[in-house]
Chain A
């Protein structure tokens, strides 16, 4: 949608039903759901994906309590050392913040466009749309670093 918006602003596409208001309305899913989901993933990933959880389930839950304590911690530390989940989480947090900032700036640019000169507003809007487009692409890259499947070997 953002790519189309850029083409509309450049005059390559004309669509009377595609207005800045319509475009930003379709982007509202960012602040309604996606932003929260990204933040939630970043804050819970390490806890939810740690192999430590396996010690709360069969069969590892049958280990002695002392063994479970140090072994679970060891498994967690090894996992962190080998996969560096903190890096992916940090990148996700940064990308989420950048996308959110670009989104809010775009909303402000849309508001300005309704009051300022057309030419300046077009250029300003195009810059912000492009910025949000890049930010979402970065966020997509950050999310792709997280595993989509979990394999227990």
Chain B
């Protein structure tokens, strides 16, 4: 799984900074990185390195010209296609789980021509330059800017140059650059940090909100941009997309509210009659059951942020009170004649068509206008950010394993991840998290999680072969063990086989191949029993899997209880999990195992497996 990088990832396209040398490092690049605290991750140098204690971003440097390395006598030319390829590799062409470019810093003036001894003396590997290189109307950087805007709209670009801004101020606006940084500016570091904050598509530095998809990063950027203002913001997104997490992120980003409270109210969970009291508070005696004064959530959020989820469910009377809060910054508790002034920013959220509700008269238009004064931020559903699924699964898996310290679970199989990625996830991230956590909690004793361990609506695993494979070639030590006495012992044990009662320690240790074969045999027998005892009906023509009758058949014991049957199936498939891993991908066995775990979710220890 990809480690979640939390720094913005910047691509710097610059002829001076992007060039590399056969020996030593690019000192101009090192100086810039040291000046503005960029961590150089280009990986093209072997010179001395520098450590940046608290970098503001990671940076990859690209020359934008061919060749990348040039000595005396080389001819250097601008290479637009190479620029676009470099951008593409970290934007639209990146692998799942890979962090995209947060921002591009683009130079304007690129010098071309021959590298002479004089030009090399002035700056190693740099060409003499041609007159048109420094003509603002011919700047190569503007051509690159235009091409990026055409092929990669949405990718933020800021110009970084030692030339004058005045020469290009109109062009940079027309071509879509988001700003201009002069390399000689004394405030360069602060301004770069400002640009990264305002314009970069950066992930959540705390790692709370996980993901690199463009829509998610755009939402985070919108939240950062809205964070300094004291006006309300509306967050829209389907259920389970992380609206509260985004509201908390916005709160953390606010320079003047982060130290204040963050109060979350799930309006959808409030009974209508208690809605007003919950938000505005009440006086003793205001209504039946109001035995004491109560401070409402709005007052609790004074100086900070109030997160109101499911605002579409807000009763009309409460909507009037909220308008007063937003307009006058004043809240009147239920039953009171006077109220208190409050300084609260409201972050409202909805998964409904709130404008449709306004049209139907179910939600006040002026309240909606006030709630979105600071903007509307849209969170994408999980199906629109599938590239993030591996990252999310990894994060939830680690979280669940950390909460189950006795679990032996180590890894998700690639099949499991593929099956998870194929799901629709109508409940979005919340549903995904619950699914992963449940898989770990319900299967703490297996080392690897396969699709059958997850509650998925569609299982797309390939049918497992039921043929018992020839065991891997027995090594010399095992071969020596396969002696006449060993075979005699195996024959004796097999004659006594009674599924569920044989002590596997009898088979383990001295005859590992026999243990594996035994495990596969039992799995095949269990499968046959499950198949034979399916209940077919018109509603379920493929047949319902029934563990209890299957295990009674397998054991030959009609008095077996349902819970004992579940235990038996679990034990039967846990004799040698690695030997039956491919069998477990079989739909019938998987379904049976899943049902057994549902019936008997408690851990079955090794001791249970060895009956006295």
Contact = CB atoms under 8 A, between A and B. Distances in A.
Given A137-B184, A140-B184, A144-B164, A3 B36 contact: yes
B479 interface: no
Interface string B5-44: 0000000000000000000000100111111110000000
Contact of A7 (B34, B48, B164, B186): B34
B234 to A, nearest CB: 39
A16 B54 contact: no
A133 interface: yes
Contacts of B164: 144
Contacts of A26: 27
B52 A134 contact: no
B247 to A, nearest CB: 33
Size band of the interface chain A makes with B: 10 to 19
A8 B37 CA distance: 11
Contact of B54 (A12, A133, A137): A12
Interface string A12-50: 111111100000001000000000000000000000000
B53 interface: yes
B467 to A, nearest CB: 62
Nearest to B49: A15
Bin the interface of chain B by size.
20 to 34
Contact of A14 (B27, B47, B50, B188): B50
Interface of A: 1, 3-4, 7-8, 11-18, 26, 133-134, 137, 140, 144
A144 B51 CA distance: 35
A133 B423 CA distance: 58
A75 to B, nearest CB: 28
28 contacts: A1-B31, A1-B35, A3-B31, A3-B36, A3-B186, A3-B188, A4-B31, A4-B33, A4-B34, A4-B35, A7-B34, A12-B52, A13-B51, A13-B52, A13-B53, A14-B50, A14-B51, A14-B53, A15-B49, A15-B50, A15-B51, A16-B48, A17-B50, A18-B30, A18-B34, A137-B186, A140-B184, A144-B164
A133 B37 CA distance: 17
Q: Which 6 A-B pairs have the closest CB atoms?
A: A4-B34, A3-B35, A15-B50, A17-B48, A13-B34, A1-B31
B438 to A, nearest CB: 45
A134 B185 CA distance: 10
B189 interface: yes
B51 A7 contact: no
A140 B50 CA distance: 28
Nearest to B48: A17
A4 B34 CA distance: 5
Interface of B: 27, 30-37, 47-54, 164, 184, 186, 188-189
Contact of B189 (A3, A18, A140): A3
B53 A18 contact: no
Contacts of B33: 4
B31 A13 contact: no
Nearest to A22: B27
A1 B186 CA distance: 11
Contacts of B188: 3
Nearest to B25: A17
A11 B34 contact: no
Contacts of A1: 31, 35
Nearest to A17: B48
Nearest to A10: B53
Given A4-B32, A4-B33, A16-B48, 9 more contacts: A1-B31, A1-B35, A3-B186, A4-B30, A4-B35, A8-B34, A12-B54, A26-B27, A144-B164
Give the interface centre of B30, B47, B50, B188 by most chain A CB atoms within 10 Å: B50
Contacts of A13: 34, 37, 50-53
A40 to B, nearest CB: 18
A17 B30 CA distance: 11
Contacts of B189: 3
Contacts of A144: 164
Contacts of A15: 30, 34, 48-51
A75 B51 CA distance: 59
Nearest to B122: A29
A13 B39 CA distance: 10
A15 B189 CA distance: 18
Nearest to B164: A144
A3 B34 contact: yes
B220 to A, nearest CB: 26
Contacts of B53: 11-14
A4 B32 CA distance: 7
A88 B164 CA distance: 18
Nearest to A8: B34
B415 to A, nearest CB: 46
A7 B184 contact: no
A142 to B, nearest CB: 13
Nearest to A13: B34
Nearest to B163: A148
Contacts of A7: 34-35, 37
Nearest to B37: A12
Contacts of B36: 3
A7 B50 CA distance: 12
Nearest to B52: A13
A125 B52 CA distance: 20
Nearest to A141: B184
A34 to B, nearest CB: 12
A18 B50 contact: yes
B189 to A, nearest CB: 7
Nearest to B47: A17
A16 B27 CA distance: 13
B555 to A, nearest CB: 69
A143 B592 CA distance: 82
A53 to B, nearest CB: 22
